[in-house]
Copies of this chain bind each other. A is one copy, B any other.
């Protein structure tokens, strides 16, 4: 059966309010960079547990929150799960080439996961 989207909503910054410094800070953490790479590599939205971070659940929650509040990812509830997606369109519009160069650099370094 198709699980409907929950009524719970999460605060996301508008595109205009996404700040470069916050995006860079969000991407500067190895754990979060890993998440971003995984989200880019996967073809569909991925839940938090699906990403298999080597930290506890609460730490995981913290990192996803930082990514969401900085405008890097968009999170939506579906049932008990929370799906994560890169805000690629917004980021590409605001900072053309940034995400691609970061992803390429991470892959080059072997941060892909």
Interface residues of A (CB under 8 A from B): 19-22, 24-25, 27-30, 33, 94-98, 100-102, 104-106, 108-109, 111
Contacts and interface: CB of A to CB of B under 8 A. Distances in A.
Copies of this protein in the assembly total 2
Nearest to A27: B24
Contact of A98 (B28, B33, B94, B105): B105
Nearest to A100: B97
B20 A29 contact: no
A105 B101 CA distance: 14
Given A20-B33, A24-B27, A28-B28, A98 B109 contact: no
A104 B109 contact: no
A21 B24 CA distance: 9
